Amino acid sequence: MRILFLGDVVGRSGRDALTARLPGLRAQLAADLVVVNGENASHGFGLAPDMARAMLAAGADAITLGNHAWDRKEIIPYLSQEGRVIRPINYPPGTPGQGATVVDVPGGRRALVINVMGRLFMDPLDDPFRAVQAEVQKHRMGQHGTVQAVVLDVHAEASSEKAAFGHSFDGLVSLVVGTHTHTPTADHQILPGGTAYQTDAGMCGDYDSVIGMQKAGAALRFWRKLPGEKLAPAEGEATLCGLFVETDDATGLAHNIAPIRLGGRLSQALPG
């Protein structure tokens, strides 16, 4: 299976770049599955239903969220209607929406997409490791399994927690990829058990910024330590950041991983 994962979409710049470039990028890579993290799409905070619909129309098969899942209140009923948009699985029982979804992909195959949120320097949610373990155990991965690939988006602050996820689920899922810190890491690799891993996919946003937000207001928060400095998304040309993974349908495990950086200020990277 050919899997395209794109990191946090930030503001209008990120949304416009995604909807403009994703159809062509999906065709160029012949991607079977596209997963996008959309939790910062609405002015940097949350996701509105119309924005989710635009991402899905542009070619996303599933949209993951994170700590800003509830910033746009109108997303709450939408999550009950649209199963392709998921929030972290380790929110307490009774929270609206779902933390995993199974996507049909070409060739009669299926892929499981899971979204989870870390606890280090984040909201103290339910145990993320046990929540993912319980979901993974519901499925069998591979040619004769219930799904042919499993993608895990770990929305977390600490690189150590993301790495722990990678090694904990190595050999059990196809891809463990981190989101939230908006900076693409250079550690894309296939772990010993066959799981593709990258600590953070980066963002789809303007990198002439402080992690996607306009520089002046964001910097003043560090200088002054006063509340009230308004944050707004940077509006320059966005870089689409993410990764491309190829897996073996027989096992669900990865045999290729490559970074993606397209447009904007960062050095460009596309699979050969």
Instruction: Tell me: pLDDT of 52 over 90.
Output: yes
Write the CATH number for 112. Answer: 3.60.21.10
With bands split at pLDDT 50, 70 and 90, how would you rate the model's confidence at 220?
confident
Q: How far apart are CA 116 and CA 173, in angstroms?
A: 14
With bands split at pLDDT 50, 70 and 90, how would you rate the model's confidence at 225?
confident
In a domain, 75, yes or no: yes
Lowest mean pLDDT among 144-148, 173-177, 228-232, 242-246: 228-232
Q: Please state the rounded mean pLDDT for residues 29-48.
A: 96
Q: Which of 68, 139, 180, 182 is catalytic?
A: 68
Q: Please state the rounded mean pLDDT for residues 132-152.
A: 96
| Domain region containing 211 | 2-262
Q: b/e per residue, 149-169, with b = 16+ CB within 10 A?
A: bbbbbbbbbbeebbbbbbeeb
In a domain, 51, yes or no: yes
In a domain, 272, yes or no: no
List all residues 6 or more positions away from 73 whose beta carbon is below 8 Å from its beta carbon: none
**In terms of C-beta density within 10 A (0-12 exposed, 13-18 middle, 19 or more buried), how is residue 104 classed?**
exposed
Q: Output the pLDDT for position 173.
A: 98
How many separate domains does the chain show?
Answer: 1
The pTM (predicted TM-score) of the whole model is 0.95
167 is a catalytic site residue: no
In a domain, 128, yes or no: yes
Instruction: Tell me: pLDDT of 227 over 80.
Output: no
In a domain, 116, yes or no: yes
Percentage of residues in the chain having pLDDT higher than 90: 92
Q: Please state the rounded mean pLDDT for residues 86-104.
A: 97
In a domain, 270, yes or no: no
In a domain, 271, yes or no: no
Instruction: Tell me: pLDDT of 272 over 90.
Output: no
